[in-house]
Each structure stands twice: as structure tokens, then as C-alpha cells.
Amino acid sequence: MANKKNILITLLIVIIVIMAIALVYVFLIRPGITGYTIDKQNQAIDFTVVSIMQRVATCQSVPLTFGNQTINIIAVECLQQPQQPQQLQPQE
């Protein structure tokens, strides 16, 4: 009888320890991992946007592809550059 009690107590302690480990993971470890992942994703988005902006600023068109759709972007300032007035060539 005492042997069954010891086995039951040991089993309950193991279950409590497993539950405690699960709670620590759910409330402490996973949020830290998720926060780190989201932070890295935001850094990647910022890097991508800045890279596109730098390339577009050189008045080059930049193709952006998503799925099977592609668009080319170019800075508005490049489209609004004043055109050089044409000088009349003297006739000879």
C-alpha cells in the first residue's frame, strides 16, 4: 500500500513539473521568441523599403513583383524634371 502511495505521489509531482514547464514556456519563453521574430521582420521591412527608395532616387525604375504581377516604380521627381528648352540652330 505504501508503495502505491509513493508511485502516486511521484506521478503527481511529475505531472505538476510538466505543467509548470509548459506554463513557463507559454508565458515567458514564447512571447520572447515572438517579440524577437517580429522585431527582425520589422527590421527587414525597413531595410527593403529604404533599399527601394535609394534605388528609385537615382531615377531608375524599380520592378516590384508579387505573384504573377509586376509593376515598375519611379520617383515622381524624376518625371517632373524641367525639360531643357530647345535652342534654335542658326541656319547656314
Domain map (residue ranges) of the chain: 2-79
Widest CA span in the chain = 124
pLDDT category of residue 78 using cuts at 50, 70 and 90: confident
What pLDDT score does 29 carry?
A: 87
What confidence score (pLDDT) does residue 84 get? 53
pLDDT of residue 11: 95
Q: Give bridge partners of residue 70 from the DSSP assignment.
A: 65
Chain-centre distance of CA 48, in angstroms? 9
Exposure pattern of 31-46 as b/e (b: 16+ CB <10 Å)? eeeeeeeeeeeeeeee
Q: What is the pTM of this model?
A: 0.54
Residue range 11-69, pLDDT digits in tens: 999 999 999 999 999 888 888 888 889 999 999 999 999 998 899 888 888 899 989 99
- Confidence (pLDDT) at 13: 96
